[in-house]
């Protein structure tokens, strides 16, 4: 019993000793104490003062860094080191590289970021055979990374969480006009060499007018949970290979299909599904393109919907008229016109506003548009944690 008590005391002491620091790029001073009244000016100075499981409050402003490594790593998933936006006035905390380019953000283990924005100036939307990534947020090979209620934007920018990444949570985030070409995606959950990425939970996220696959989970990642997500306007809504996935209450809306001839010009799918998904129910695949399937779900598919003329798959897609959507799809009870208008408003905002403008003022109309397309599903314990 004594060793256990010693361990519990040590853990309690580490938690009790957690401290807070503050950062503000406009009024901060790196020579100051880094408290609420006198914050630091730069994030690096704050991180130099932090210990595992401390919290850094990030105040509104434009954070111009080409690269940021969020550190130090936390203690475990329940005691991460936290970087949290602190609402103070009308602005946002927006991370951007110099000259308006997309930054490169990466993580230590057991890091949690909340309500931060990151991206860059809009570029031309060109679908090409080559990967063209200008920046990104990277959790390759990391454990316990949590990305919560963050907003990412800009072509040539993507979020990567794969290649042995494990036990990560990406929840209630917004991804707008992200990805580049056919091979670069808003979010990339690659598998990779054993041990492959595993136990990644994608819950309640919104993907608007990007390129590639909105949700890319190729190369056999394991035990993904994909629940309560909305995608609109990407080349393809989702690919999910690998064993043990749970996929439900997702709204896949009007992917554009692949437009280039190379490679494989016939790849025009709404979604590409594995053949051994543990659960596939309450999904809407609203597309003129079919769902590509490797086989039948292990659990009996139910309450999955598609547009007229696209039903009858092994996943038992039920053909639905546009006028039936508000009543039938109770996890997104909106009309086709309301959804399309909200998607356009979101896309237009991120195309017409600079990161500097975004940092200065919260846009109520933008937030209302995001609320329109947010899937009305609250995750359960089984979504967040699996045995």
The secondary structure of 47-71 as a DSSP string is HHH--TT-EEEE-SEEEE-SEEEE-
Percent of the chain predicted with pLDDT > 90: 63
Give the mean pLDDT of 186-211. Answer: 87
- pLDDT bucket at 1, cuts 50 / 70 / 90: very low
- 113, pLDDT greater than 70: yes
Distance, in Å, from the CA atom of 143 to the CA atom of 198, rounded to the nearest integer, reads 10
Classify 9 as helix, strand or coil: helix
146: Cα separation from own chain's centroid: 10
Count H helices and E strands in the chain, helices first: 7, 30
- pLDDT bucket at 96, cuts 50 / 70 / 90: very high
Q: Pick the residue with more confidence: 312 or 367?
A: 367
H or E element that contains 238:
strand 236-240
Question: How far is CA 341 from each of CA 128, 208, 234, 271, 321, rounded to the nearest angstrom?
Answer: 28, 12, 16, 23, 19
Distance, in Å, from the CA atom of 42 to the CA atom of 176, rounded to the nearest integer, reads 27
190 Cβ contact partners less than 8 Å away, ≥ 6 residues apart = 160, 162, 163, 197, 216, 217, 218, 219, 221
Per-residue pLDDT tens digits for 38-92 = 999 999 999 999 999 999 999 999 999 999 999 999 999 999 999 999 998 889 9
CATH 3.30.70 is held by the domain 18-97: no
Range of weakest confidence among 294-303, 336-345, 351-360: 294-303
- 125, pLDDT greater than 60: no
Tell me the pLDDT of the chain averaged across its residues.
Answer: 88
- 130, pLDDT greater than 50: no
Asked whether the whole model's pTM tops 0.85, one would answer yes
Give the mean pLDDT of 157-169. Answer: 84
Burial 226-253 (b: 16+ CB within 10 A, else e): bbbbbbbbbbbbbbbbbbbbbbbbbbbb
- 18, pLDDT greater than 80: no
Any idea which residue has 């779900």 for tokens?
297
pLDDT of residue 53: 98
pLDDT of residue 338: 98
């Amino acid at each position: 019993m004594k060793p256990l008590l010693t361990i519990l005391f040590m853990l309690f002491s580490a938690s009790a000793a957690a401290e807070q620091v503050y950062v503000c790029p406009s009024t901060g001073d790196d020579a100051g104490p880094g408290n609420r009244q006198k914050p630091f000016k730069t994030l690096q100075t704050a991180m130099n003062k932090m210990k595992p499981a401390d919290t850094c409050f990030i105040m509104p402003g434009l954070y111009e860094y080409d690269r940021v490594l969020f550190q130090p790593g936390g203690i475990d998933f329940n005691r991460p080191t936290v970087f949290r936006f602190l609402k103070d006035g009308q602005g946002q905390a927006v991370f951007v590289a110099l000259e308006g380019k997309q930054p490169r953000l990466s993580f230590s283990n057991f890091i949690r970021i909340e309500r931060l924005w990151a991206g860059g100036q809009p570029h031309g939307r060109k679908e090409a055979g080559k990967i063209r990534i200008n920046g990104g947020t990277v959790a390759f090979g990391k454990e316990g990374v949590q990305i919560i209620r963050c907003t990412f934007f800009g072509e040539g920018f993507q979020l990567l969480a794969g290649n042995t990444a494990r036990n990560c949570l990406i929840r209630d985030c917004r991804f707008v006009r992200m990805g580049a070409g056919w091979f670069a995606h808003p979010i990339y959950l690659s598998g990779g060499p054993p041990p492959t990425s595993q136990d990644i939970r994608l819950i309640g996220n919104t993907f608007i007018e990007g390129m590639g696959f909105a949700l890319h989970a190729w190369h056999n990642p394991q035990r993904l949970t994909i629940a309560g997500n909305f995608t609109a306007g990407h080349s393809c809504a989702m690919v999910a290979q690998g064993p043990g996935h749970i996929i439900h209450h997702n709204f896949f809306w009007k992917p554009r299909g692949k437009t280039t001839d190379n490679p494989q010009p016939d790849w025009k799918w709404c979604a590409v599904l594995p053949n051994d998904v543990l659960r596939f129910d309450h999904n809407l695949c609203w597309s003129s393109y079919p769902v590509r399937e490797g086989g039948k779900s292990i659990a009996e598919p139910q309450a999955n919907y598609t547009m007229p003329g696209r039903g009858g798959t092994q996943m038992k897609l039920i053909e639905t008229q546009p006028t039936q959507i508000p009543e039938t799809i109770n996890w997104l009870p909106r009309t086709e016109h309301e959804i399309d208008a909200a998607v356009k408003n979101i896309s237009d905002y991120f195309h017409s506003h600079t990161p500097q403008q975004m940092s200065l003022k919260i846009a109520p109309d933008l937030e209302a548009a995001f609320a329109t397309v947010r899937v009305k599903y609250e995750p359960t314990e089984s979504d967040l944690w699996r045995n």
